[in-house]
Every structure is written in C-alpha cells, then in structure tokens.
Structure 1
C-alpha cells in the first residue's frame, strides 16, 4: 500500500505520449507462483513530442529480468510504479525487449494476472496491464498484439487470448502452447488471457454478409448446462447490432469466459470477454428472472463494446463515458427491443430509471459528485461510477431524442467513418451526431448541450401551468436550476428535451398546437428548454389540462410538476405514457410518506382515494402485470431519503413499513385475486410475459405474508414456506424466502436452512442466501437483529472476504442496501463498516473503495447518526496505510 496520497490527475494536463507502441509480441510461461513474461515492443517516437524525452513505462509488483533496446542493454531506473529509460535509442523507431516475472497467486487485488479456482485470468481495465509487464499503459497507445501462451497441459488445457487462433501444439514435459493474433490495434487495457481447465458451448453463426463466425462460452466443468441463456443472448446481440447499427462481428470467433473471482460484472477485452459467473450462469433452478435479464443485458453490453469501446476507444480515462455511457444506452435499447411489447419496453425503462435514481442521483448530491466527463481524479478505479455509466447513457439518450432515431443512426455512421481505429473524446462523439443532423436542436445548441458532460449535479426542473378560459390558451412555464457541486459553485443552463403531452381531466390526449403554428401536430411534443426559464403557449385548450411532462424520463432531472393528488390520479389512470403513469403512482405514495416524516407518530391511515387508485391499477385488465408490480411497490427508502434535507433512516423505514402493512391489509382481497390469477403453470421461460406474472404474484405473496404475520394467521406464511421447499424454479423460491424474512415470520429460519441445503455448494445461489439475510427488513422494534446476523455470517464456512461476489452479497448488501439496519443510533453499523473497509483494503482496494462509498451522504443524516458517521470516517482516514482507492473516497467525504 502507498502511504502518501496520490496526486490528482487533471484532464487539462493531457498530453500525447512521447512514444507510440505499434506492435506487441508477448510470450507467457504461465505458472501461478512465478509467470515469466517476455515482450517485444515496436516503438516509434511521436514526431509531435518534444525531443530528448525519456521513455517511461508503467509497471507494478513486477520483477525485471532483462531490458534491451535493439538487442543491446540499456540503462534504466525505477521510480514508484515506473520504469524510466532516460536515454532510449535516438532513432525514430526501435525495438524494446523486456523480460519480467509476476506472481499471480499472490495477486489478491484481482487486477492484472491472477488465479481463481485453479485457473489463470486477467483483468486489465483500467490499469491492470502494468501488473503483468512494463508498458505504456494508457488508452491512447494502441498496438497490434501477437501472444504466445505456454503452460502445463494437464492443469491448463485451455489457452486463450485476444483475436484469432493462429497455431497450437504440444511441447516437452507435458506442456503445450497456443498463439493468438489480434489484427485490430487496441490499448493495453483490452488485453486478456485465460489459462484454465474449462469446457465450452459453441455455436456457429453466419452474418448478413455471409461470413461464418464461431461463438464460444467457456465455464468450469459442471456448469455447461447453465450457459444456454448466455449463448442465446450473445447470438441475439450480434444480430441486433448488425441490424440496428450496421455493425458486424469483425473477428473469426468471439469468446466469453466465466470466472468466479472478478471485481466487475464483465470486461470487453477484444474478442475475449471475461465475465463474472453471475452474468453467465443461469438455469431455472438457480437463477431468478432478474438474473436472466441481467445476463442478457451484460452480454449485450460487453459485445456492443466491440465497436463502441474497442474499435473506437477513449483518448484518456476522463473520456470513460465515451464508451461506457454510449454502450449502456445501446444495451438498454437492446433489452427494450428484446422485451417486445410496448408495455414490456416501458417496464425496462422504469427499471433503468429506478436504478439511476437509487444510485446516481445520490452520487450527484454527495462528495463524490463529478461530471460525466470528470476533470480530475486520484484513482481511476473510483470513477467507474453511475454518473459515468448511467447518467452518461442518459446524455446519449437525450442526443437521440433531439435528432430522432434515424438521425442518431446517421450520427453513429459518421462517428465510425471518422474515428474507426482511433482513441477519441466525448466531444468527438457529440460533434459527429450533430454534424450528421445539421439544423437539429442538438446541432444548433451543441456548445450548450455539452454542459451535460462538464457539470456535476442533478438539475431541477420546475413546471407550472396556467389556463386562460377566455383565450383558450394553456401556458406552461419551465424553469431549470442546479445546486452547487464540489468545485462547481455556479452552473450554466442545460439543453433539456422535455417530451410532453396534455391530458383532459376525463383522460383524453389533447392535440397540441403551439402559439404561432397553423395546426396541431399530434398529442405529444418534445419541448427543448435552453434558458433558465421559458414559457410555451398551447392554443385551443378549452379546459385546464393535466400536463404529462418528461415522458419516458426524457432528461435526467428532478421534476417538480406542482401537481396535486387529483391531477396525479388522472395521470395514473389515463396517461398514454407508461413511465408517467408509474411516476404518478410513486409520487402519490411519496407525498404521503413525506407528509408524515416530520412527526414521531405512526403513518396516518391511507386515504380512500389513494387506496382506490392502487386497487384500480391492480385490477386493470389492460395493464401489464410487471407494470402493476412496479406501481404497487412503494418508493425505496433511499429514494425517500433523497427528498429530505435531513435524513432519519429509522423514521423513513418505519413509515415505509407501515405503508406496506396498510396496503397489505386494505387490499387483502385484491392480493388474493392477484396471487391466484397470475400463477404461471406452463414450463419456465424468462420472457417478459412470464416474468411479469411472477413479479406480481410474488408481490401479492409478500403482502399476504406481511398481513398474516401481523394478524397471527399461520396460513400464508405456511404457504410461503412450502413454496421455498417445492418451487420448481428459483424466482418463486427466492421470492417466498424473502417474503418470510421481510415479513418477520417465525418460519424464516427454517426456510433459510432449507434454501441453504438447496444451494448445495452453488456459489451464485449461496450469494442469494447471504444477500437475503443482509438485506432483510429490520423489525420495527429494532434491536439490531440484522447486524447481529451479518456479523455471525462473517464466520460462516461459506463466506470469504477474498471473493468479491460473496463480499458484495453480505457486506455490500448490508452497508449499501439496508439503510435502516446500517444507520443505527448506537453507531454499531458504522463500526462494522470501518472494520470491514480497513480489513478489505489490505486485500482488494477496489472492492474496499466501493464499500467505503456507503458513507458518501453522511452529512445529510440527522443526529446522532451524523456525528457517529464522521467519527467512523475519520478512523478510516487516519489509518497509517491506506490505498489510494479508499483514501480518495474517505478524504472527499470528509472535505468541508
């Protein structure tokens, strides 16, 4: 660990390297204790760089054996993480040969070359390649790689690297080799190798051009039967990208490898994607509907990176959203297209927005707030954030809204025409989209639109309407504002596409004619807000309408619509936009929770108007069951907290639980109907239709158990327990388990024991078992039940701090996803957090930093939580040895 804090790296200081690396020949003699790496680098001077500069290569935790320039020894020196050759050959081009060793089995950081379940794997993004060999480890240095792997054949029968397999064969002493060549230049962060005992599912496909490709999914022995969905998702991804964007698979083969020890979800290494097992392995018996959807999304995401991230990559890490924001947008569009029906598409969009609000909005309001394109960082691993990914995707979505679907395709075509094979910037992407659509709102306002890339924080959009009966005009006034963010006290107005409609009080979508127009143009419009305040006047409006604003969540902002219950119920019942119907239902619930927060008593009885509105949604035969489940689920505790200037997590938890209990009791007959009417009796399919039915049926079961426990009725807890034992697939089994745990049923412990037995050593099912207990709703009488259980589980034989999935399922779930159990008046949750962050930082700083972020928003906590949280943060910050990863997080949290 480095004891001194790393200095900040600034975007404004970017300079092209003094040298380029054009080709790379790597040879690995693979061994877990000591792997020997030989590299041969074709280096060219950058003619634009100042002459006489040293050649500076990155390297960490390596042992250097040899360094030759054009076959001759060359003098060098070591600095912190650097190999410096002060006097490289004075030629425009030369060859550098390096020989070094690394120790994969000691690499608990899981960055670089490391071991997992007897195999050797790599993770090089962002700066892991320097832990393999010395290199210009930066994204703008793109080279053609040729790789030779040599290893013991019995231990490592499968040898994989990027690109196409050139040659393979046997060697002496039971060893073998494989040579791989990737014809496309790539930065070192996209390098990958795998050496392991794996089995493979293969599928040959033919592209639209008639070219045949081989798709392969590699997993541990015994897991092959869980790869069908991953392969189907990969095939669908390849077909979708070629159909939607004209982007074909460009290699002879495309490989996915699943590994159980992985810091991320997956990695888009060129042609050889390395995945967390969580996003590859699935069967009805082991994976939920959510798991199946996650696999489809992540497989799509990593495949789509083949063009948006690999063929065109980022010039520097400040441009990370160039590839990640764009590719998240693409995987969201892919999943919506795969969902099929308009209602299923809307459910996907709602899920994405819920995730954005749950993670990114709090990030934008906290000490780690940063623009989509950051201006500075200390540790790049800390900037793989919801802002870069999810908010970045929303920025791309706004571009697509402003230029239209066809216009966005033209912009993508121009982007690839200009920049294929290059390392470029977010500005280059935005310019291509604008240039392909001259005269569009994006092109006209491009400079101002880029504020979305440059400014941190979530803008506020306020809408107020007024109706003039005499003139039959409705005036909609939109106002935008933004709160200060770290380093950005003042904000400039953004370009906001506001998709909207007007609805009559009896539910009709009204034709929209803006002042100055000769005729109405449909019932939906995109208003483009560019000023701090603008008014839009609609003609021929007989009666005061209800505005439906920000349809489809057309801009990532906090909307204050000024609408009261009557208008919200109108939207909930009649809006043609499914997102805004859901939003209206959430706002109705949120208003009732926020109104009760200032007091100390119980949540007042829910009014009949609200209950009737929820019942109408639940019983509506025209609505998708998945949509109903989303509407009937109250806003999460974290989202409620984001609406508060001062947060009392225990009070929020109590009120939300009381709302759930009231909904359970008042809609009891309706839940009975929903349970019976939405059982899936045919064979399992993870499609939108079946998943929606299961989602609503399982919400009904949760409510029925909650109501039964409150009344002392054993029937529904007994049925849920039976479902844990007898369910034919994991979605229903897992939902029944959580219903018993969160309902505080006495049968929960027996259900947990049975579920653990069903897991039978399956790592991903065990992760669910740990997470269900760490996320459990704290009983309203308190007592620290959840924390006590989590502490005990740290000592469980199935728990390991070294496995990121297991760590996230227990410690991450508790600290980051269970606010009422974590934020305790006695500070025990904060002590637990500090202990785990310090313990984990010595093993895996990347994961430790992510756990550390559970304290980002400590300043908005009410007392006594706030003072106790600060004390825990100060304890971590005062550690004598702290990684740059964690130091940056806690230091920013403590900054005044």
Structure 2
C-alpha cells in the first residue's frame, strides 16, 4: 500500500520548538560509506508557545551510529527513531547534541542530500535534502552558524569545498587530507553545500566599490575549463550590476561555482558555494548557442543575486518561497535587460509566462504565488512561484518607480538582514519606505488564476475626450471560487492616425503627464477619461506588459496592423503582431474543422512583409514579430482542441507565409548570412536571430535552393547557433545524414548531445515516438540523468504536441510508462514530467479519455512517491 505525506497548511505555521545556534559538521567521505558527525548547540525557542515539546530532528534514509547529549552517550530508551525523525522527549532548554550517522552517496538516485556523480560528490539540500545527510531541524526558519570539516582520500577527492571561508587544511595518514570551512553568516540547512572530487578551476577577481577584492572560482571536470570564461564574466558583471543598481556588495572572501551534469535543477544558491547544472556554466561558440550564452548570464546572475535575496534574508517557511524566488527572478530579468535588449528580454519573459504559467493558472495545479497548502514542497518550484512572482514584484516597481523600489529594498534589508521572513514583510517594507498603501495589492500573493481585463474605448468628437472603461475579473481556481478585485497597474498610450503618441491628460488634471500613463485599477469597474484628444486614437494597452493579465479589447485587424507599424512601445508592437497571429490561427482552426481551405489574409501577409523591408527596426524584434504563436500556447485558447488539426493549421499558415514572402525572406537571409566570424554581442545575436527565423521559413519550401542553403549553413557554420538552426530544419526533412554526422562530431560532449536528442524529439516527421524510444537505447542517453530525460522524453511530451497527442494514444502510454519508471529513481523528475497530463480536459473527448486512463494507471501504482502522487491526483480531481 502507498503511504503519502499529509497536506501541510500555511495557516498552521508555528515557530519551531527549538533553535540551533551552531552546527559543527565533520564528513569522512566515501562513495558507498560516508560518516557524518554533527555537533548541534540547541536551545528552546522563547517564541514557541509549546514549552514542553520534545526535540524533533528530521532525518530520512540515515543509519544512526551514536548519540551523545551534553558529552554523555544517550541511552536507547531516551530517544525514538521513525522513518522521518529522531525524537528526544526529555531534554533541557539548552543542550549540546552530538550525532554520528552513515549514508551511502552512490545509492542516492534522487539527487537530494549527498550523492555521487561521475566519481565526485555533491549535495543538494533545497528544499528538504539536508535531512538525508544528518538529523537536523530541517526548516528555513532555523538559522545557525555552520563550520564544516571534510576528510577524504587525497587522490580521489583532491578538492574539498563547503560554505563560507576556508580557514585551515592539512594532511593525515593513509593518503587522506582535510579542509575546514567556516560560514560567518547564519543560514538555514537548505543552504548547506559540500563538493568533493577531481575538479579543476578557472579563477578571476572582482573589486567591490569599497575596494575589497573577491576571488571568483569556477570548478569543473577536467577538459571543460575552456568553456568557463563566459560564466566567469557573467559573475563579474552580476557583481558590478548589483552594486550599481541596489548597492549590494558580496560578503565573503571567495565566490565559488561548481558544475555537475547530474542535477535536478538549473542551479542552487548555497551560501558562497553555488552548485550549477553544467548547462548553465559550460559554453563556447562551437558548442553553445546564443540562447545558451544568454541563459548562463541569467542563471549565474540569479544565483549570485540570491546572496542577498534568499541567503542574507531568507523565507520563514516554504509557503513564502516566492519571497526569494520571485524577487530574484525579477532582479535577474532586470540584469539581462540592462546588459542586452530590454524590449527583447521583456517579450521573451512574457512569452514564457503566457505559454507556461498562464496554463498552470488555468489547470489543476493552479495555486497562488504564496500557496496555502502542499503535500510535497518540491512540486511548488513552479512557474507561478517564480515567473508570476517576478511579475508581482515588477508591478510593485512599476507603482513605486525605480527610486521608490530601491528605497523599499533598502528598508527591507535594514529590517530583516539575517532573518527568515514572509512575503508580507517584503510588501510592508515597500509600502512603509514610500508611504503608500499596498494592502489590496497583497491579494496578488493570495489569489490564484490569471485576471482578465475587459476594456472598452469611446471617443467623444465634440468634447475631444477618449474614455476607457475597464472591468476586471478572475476565473475560479481549485479551492478559490470567488475572487476579490486586485490592485493592477495598467500602462496605456494613445496614438493618432499619423502614428504619433498623444500627450495624456486625465479629466481634472491641469496638464499632460507624458505619453504613457500607468492607471491604477482597484475596483471591479473603473472609468478613465482623457481630455484634449484631437482625433479618434488607437489605444496602446498594457504597455511593457505592466501586469500579468489577459486583455480583451475590440481592436480591428486594421488596428493591429497599425500598432505593429507605429506603436512606440516595443512590447506593444510585438503584442499587436502576436494578437493578430493568434486570432488568425484560432480562426483558421475552426475553418479547417469545417473542411474549408486554410489561408492567411493579405493584410496580415503585407504587415509581415513590411517588417522585413524596414531597415531601422531591431532585427531581434523583427524576428520575434515574425514568429507565430506556439502550438502549446494556442492549445490553451481552444476548448476541446484537436492537437493534430491545430498543428496542420499552424504548418499551413507558416508555409503560406514562406511562399508569399519568399523574395523578402530570402533577401533578408542572404544579407545577414554574410560569412562574418562569430561574435557574442547584442548586435550579432539580433542579426543571427532574424537570419535563422528567415531560414526556418525558407525550410518550408520544397526547393533545391533551400536544401542547398540548409546544407551549406550546417556544414560551414563556425558556431552552434547557426549549425543547430540548420540541423533543426533538416530534422524536419530528410536530414539523417547530417544528424549522424552531428552525433559523430559531438558524441563526447554531453550538453551538445542533449541538443541532438531534443532536436529529434521535437521533429514533426512521422515516427517521432519510435525514434524517441530507439534513442533511449543510445549510449549517450541515461534515464538516471535529469538533463537527458528533459532533453529527450521531456521535449517529446511537452513540446512535440502533434505526436504526443497522437490519435492512437501511444504517446500518452509512453509518457505514463516513463513517469512510473522515473518515480522509482528520481521522484522530482517524474513529477515534473507528469505535468504533461495537466491539461487533459482541454483536448477533445477521445484523447481526453485516453489521458485520464493513463493518469489513473499512474495513480494506481504501488509505492508512488508523494511528488508524483500529488501532481497526478490533483489532475484527476480537477
């Protein structure tokens, strides 16, 4: 029989009965036998109402060797051991506890706690991994000072790393050595880290504004050192930016990054010792794409920024996870905007939010940014907590302005440095620093779902006024039927028929206040009247995506074409193109259902053509405007959708664009494909993005010239961005020879092979599932490696919708089989894969029934993990 954790509720929070002042850890390392000795200085918490509670230490899969209490062995009848805890009922208010446990890193396939990867040892403790290392009060509001001594064989583990500053080291008998680390800052156990193994390092420095020299060290396996220079530069850029933007300096002597290929996440912000997935460290032009370089910039910055927003100030409990993650995502987005194109960065962030988080909000896993309940905390590392959480922080910044937001950040750190706090504490600091009321705004943290704004516009020619009437609403979500109105910033502009922004003046104001105005919505219905409007304008709404909402306004097709050509706000300009394309594809989906021919109107085609001939536009913006909305996003917009029909409609429109705009697309491609050597600069990245969007359109044409262009770009490219763009197109054609050549070239590079797996997993050619199943037998694939699973199986299930949703249901059965298999090895990865079934009620009835059947099969498995159980049962109950 399967046993699962009971649900944990936010409102049941109580302060811990005991606190830990200091932790002294000693590790005697080995792959199959590691002995951990912990010395805990504990004291009863004066803030706890339970003055007689026993000392309860969390622990999982630990072998206990001994316990001493205040220097004396603790008799067996003085403590209890369960599957998840060590309990000492009779203990003084202050005590010193010494515990010795044994663990087996080599047997740890879930990659939580201390585990082995490639002969090296790593830890991952967020959220509840430390309890797999030693018995401890494993919760974020227990913050202690850690010292860590690591003992190991010098040949097998020459590098020994942990949090803080290295203070001493030495050698021992039997070829062993030791290193002692001291972290001067209090931290919760989830921020503990240890790394040991045969690693080499790239070193650099950063000098702070106060003149302190910080050493930066990046540790990787031998052979990868030449791929670390971009990550080093990213860390240096992030350090400078955080000082300039927020006045935050690094606080230890050394900042360390370690890369491993076996990792459940992207990276982890352990204090001073950040552990990264190799995907977000290793890069050079012939192995990494522009997107990889951008991802490294963002993730290195994100984990570094956590030093203050997550480490120095951490979350009181896991319901407050967005306190650190939403805030830090906002910070890394701002960093990426400042070092690149702000407009392009904003559009990319919004596309991700809409495609993934909006779907989460509309599905069975919908939850507030600050959840109210969970069974398994690992399931709440979600797009809602991270990406929507970042949008909530961004709205605060929009309402306060840059200076006001920084004032709020400064007060936040002054009040809470060294503490574990809540989302309410963050909002209170922002409100108090600026003297404003954000009480209603806090509903963004407690209400799930994506709000919708229905907006009507009316022009009074005689009075020269333009009135916007805005109605806000939010659909019911699991556990929340009725929603209260939110405080929403709505950025708007008005554009005259010459394409010029009009100065905005609201009724009752003496003078205009610029050409973009942030309107603050607080009631279900609000009306705003602009005066001195000389002619009927075209409204530009939700500029810069000022709030994470859906927008309904009756723009005509002509209005959208006009905004595509004239809106001064880059996001709104892209949004007009995206809205037109979405409207077109959904309309043509219904046309196809009636058996009629699918076709795009001339106005739409001409609008796209005009983008290609305007030389003053940012090529990266043009590339984004040319791309059609993803099938994954469109799937959310059509009830009872047939994914196969939707795929054929999208393909037909793309092919029509390629035919109709062939001269302009080809001319643009040839102009940009000029043979210049690769450089990673914003200008070059923008030009490559447009070039390869053009290539993707040309690849839809069955012409010898196109085949030659694809082969030439594949074979002659001096960088992975261009080579992969050509190979992706070839993978949808008859590109077996090039796919084989690619595998031969890069068989020894794990990250490049991940790209090869993903390309084939998303190929639209017939037989995709058979190819995926065959690739699971490839020597470069391992079901135990999360990157491989995400690249091959995850890509097929989450991105290749036409084949995953095949009418025979084999895609669903394949996914269910893999989820069951993975659940026995790594429940976190299994649960994330299970999300491919979340929107089973969105598809047409036949597929819906097959998806439900597979969900029920998974749910009926013996010994299903809490991770997967929670995802699957919520989906079935929706």
State the TM-score bracket (shorter-chain normalisation): over 0.9
What is residue 735 of structure 1 aligned with on the other side? 725
Q: Whole-Å Cα distance in 1 between the matches of residues 439 and 833 of structure 2?
A: 37
Q: Would the aligned equivalents of 2:61 and 2:83 in 1 still touch at CA under 8 Å?
A: no
Q: Whole-Å Cα distance in 2 between the matches of residues 673 and 497 of structure 1?
A: 42
Query: How many angstroms does 1:639 deviate by?
Result: 1.1
Q: Would the aligned equivalents of 2:588 and 2:599 in 1 still touch at CA under 8 Å?
A: no
Q: Whole-Å Cα distance in 2 between the matches of residues 475 and 665 of structure 1?
A: 42
Q: Whole-Å Cα distance in 1 between the matches of residues 711 and 171 of structure 2?
A: 55
Query: How many angstroms does 1:722 deviate by?
Result: 2.9
Query: How many angstroms does 1:5 deviate by?
Result: 2.2
Q: Would the aligned equivalents of 2:408 and 2:432 in 1 still touch at CA under 8 Å?
A: yes
What is residue 773 of structure 2 aligned with on the other side? 791
Q: Would the aligned equivalents of 2:507 and 2:531 in 1 still touch at CA under 8 Å?
A: yes
Query: How many angstroms does 1:282 deviate by?
Result: 0.1
What is residue 453 of structure 1 aligned with on the other side? 445
What is residue 475 of structure 1 aligned with on the other side? 467
Q: Deviations over 1:439-467 (max 9, x none)?
A: xxxx23x1210110000000001111011
Tell me the secondary structure at the aligned position of residue 297 of structure 2: helix
Q: Whole-Å Cα distance in 2 between the matches of residues 523 and 378 of structure 1?
A: 48
What is residue 810 of structure 1 aligned with on the other side? 792
Query: How many angstroms does 1:603 deviate by?
Result: 5.1
Q: How does 1:545-694 map to 2 (within 5 A)?
A: 545-599=537-591, 600=593, 601=595, 604-679=598-673, 681-694=675-688
Q: Deviations over 1:449-497 (max 9, x none)?
A: 0110000000001111011111111110111101100000000011110
Q: Whole-Å Cα distance in 1 between the matches of residues 682 and 362 of structure 2?
A: 34
What is residue 73 of structure 1 aligned with on the other side? 73
Q: How does 1:5-404 map to 2 (within 5 A)?
A: 5-49=4-48, 50-74=50-74, 75-88=78-91, 90=92, 92-339=93-340, 344-404=341-401
What is residue 769 of structure 1 aligned with on the other side? 756
Q: Would the aligned equivalents of 1:679 and 1:693 in 2 still touch at CA under 8 Å?
A: no
Q: Whole-Å Cα distance in 1 between the matches of residues 349 and 681 of structure 2?
A: 18
Q: Deviations over 1:60-87 (max 9, x none)?
A: 1100001111012332111231111111
Q: Whole-Å Cα distance in 2 between the matches of residues 645 and 680 of structure 1?
A: 45
Q: Would the aligned equivalents of 1:680 and 1:694 in 2 still touch at CA under 8 Å?
A: no
Q: Would the aligned equivalents of 1:114 and 1:122 in 2 still touch at CA under 8 Å?
A: yes
Q: Whole-Å Cα distance in 2 between the matches of residues 549 and 197 of structure 1?
A: 55
Say which is worse superposed, 687-696 or 804-813, in terms of deviation: 687-696
What is residue 715 of structure 2 aligned with on the other side? 725
Q: Whole-Å Cα distance in 1 between the matches of residues 47 and 775 of structure 2?
A: 58
The answer on 1:750 being equivalent to 2:742 is no
Tell me the secondary structure at the aligned position of residue 166 of structure 2: strand
Q: Would the aligned equivalents of 1:680 and 1:693 in 2 still touch at CA under 8 Å?
A: no
What is the TM-score of this pair, normalised by structure 2? 0.98
Q: Whole-Å Cα distance in 2 between the matches of residues 485 and 653 of structure 1?
A: 29
Q: Whole-Å Cα distance in 2 between the matches of residues 140 and 683 of structure 1?
A: 52
Tell me the secondary structure at the aligned position of residue 798 of structure 1: coil
Say which is worse superposed, 583-592 or 304-313, in terms of deviation: 583-592
Q: Would the aligned equivalents of 2:504 and 2:517 in 1 still touch at CA under 8 Å?
A: yes
Q: Deviations over 1:208-240 (max 9, x none)?
A: 101111000000000000000000000000111
Q: 1:760 aligns with which of 739, 747, 765?
A: 747
What is residue 839 of structure 2 aligned with on the other side? 857
Q: Whole-Å Cα distance in 2 between the matches of residues 681 and 304 of structure 1?
A: 38
Query: How many angstroms does 1:52 deviate by?
Result: 1.6
Q: Would the aligned equivalents of 1:23 and 1:41 in 2 still touch at CA under 8 Å?
A: yes
Query: How many angstroms does 1:511 deviate by?
Result: 1.0
The answer on 1:517 being equivalent to 2:509 is yes
Q: How many residues align?
A: 872
Q: Would the aligned equivalents of 2:598 and 2:653 in 1 still touch at CA under 8 Å?
A: no
Q: Whole-Å Cα distance in 2 between the matches of residues 550 and 807 of structure 1?
A: 38
Q: Whole-Å Cα distance in 2 between the matches of residues 459 and 543 of structure 1?
A: 31
Q: Whole-Å Cα distance in 2 between the matches of residues 755 and 726 of structure 1?
A: 13
Q: Deviations over 1:192-211 (max 9, x none)?
A: 00001001000122111011
Q: Would the aligned equivalents of 1:571 and 1:584 in 2 still touch at CA under 8 Å?
A: yes
What is residue 714 of structure 1 aligned with on the other side? 704
Q: Whole-Å Cα distance in 2 between the matches of residues 669 and 483 of structure 1?
A: 46
Q: Would the aligned equivalents of 2:206 and 2:239 in 1 still touch at CA under 8 Å?
A: no
Q: Would the aligned equivalents of 2:42 and 2:94 in 1 still touch at CA under 8 Å?
A: yes
Q: Whole-Å Cα distance in 2 between the matches of residues 645 and 563 of structure 1?
A: 23
Q: 1:823 aligns with which of 793, 805, 812?
A: 805
Q: Would the aligned equivalents of 1:336 and 1:345 in 2 still touch at CA under 8 Å?
A: yes
Q: Deviations over 1:632-680 (max 9, x none)?
A: 0000001111212222111111111111101111110011111112136
Say which is worse superposed, 595-604 or 265-274, in terms of deviation: 595-604
Query: How many angstroms does 1:515 deviate by?
Result: 0.4
What is residue 886 of structure 1 aligned with on the other side? 868
Query: How many angstroms does 1:602 deviate by?
Result: 5.6
Q: Whole-Å Cα distance in 2 between the matches of residues 813 and 639 of structure 1?
A: 15
Q: Would the aligned equivalents of 1:304 and 1:327 in 2 still touch at CA under 8 Å?
A: yes
Tell me the secondary structure at the aligned position of residue 776 of structure 1: coil
Q: Would the aligned equivalents of 1:602 and 1:655 in 2 still touch at CA under 8 Å?
A: no
Q: Deviations over 1:132-177 (max 9, x none)?
A: 0000000000000000000011111100000000111111111111
- Gaps of at least 5 residues in structure 1 are none
Query: How many angstroms does 1:48 deviate by?
Result: 2.8
Q: Whole-Å Cα distance in 2 between the matches of residues 887 and 301 of structure 1?
A: 31
Tell me the secondary structure at the aligned position of residue 436 of structure 1: helix
Q: Whole-Å Cα distance in 1 between the matches of residues 638 and 12 of structure 2?
A: 39
Q: Would the aligned equivalents of 1:407 and 1:437 in 2 still touch at CA under 8 Å?
A: yes
Q: Would the aligned equivalents of 1:593 and 1:603 in 2 still touch at CA under 8 Å?
A: no
Q: Would the aligned equivalents of 2:353 and 2:388 in 1 still touch at CA under 8 Å?
A: yes
1:772–1:547: structure 2 CA closer, same or farther, 3 Å change rule?
same
Query: How many angstroms does 1:622 deviate by?
Result: 1.3
Q: Would the aligned equivalents of 2:455 and 2:471 in 1 still touch at CA under 8 Å?
A: yes
Q: 2:525 aligns with which of 525, 533, 552?
A: 533
Q: Whole-Å Cα distance in 2 between the matches of residues 696 and 739 of structure 1?
A: 15
Q: Whole-Å Cα distance in 2 between the matches of residues 751 and 584 of structure 1?
A: 38
Q: Would the aligned equivalents of 1:147 and 1:180 in 2 still touch at CA under 8 Å?
A: yes
Query: How many angstroms does 1:604 deviate by?
Result: 3.0
Tell me the secondary structure at the aligned position of residue 544 of structure 2: coil
Q: Whole-Å Cα distance in 2 between the matches of residues 741 and 530 of structure 1?
A: 51
Tell me the secondary structure at the aligned position of residue 864 of structure 1: helix
Q: Cα RMSD between the aligned structures? A: 1.0
Say which is worse superposed, 641-650 or 362-371, in terms of deviation: 641-650
Q: Would the aligned equivalents of 2:25 and 2:39 in 1 still touch at CA under 8 Å?
A: yes
What is the TM-score of this pair, normalised by structure 1? 0.96
Query: How many angstroms does 1:365 deviate by?
Result: 0.4
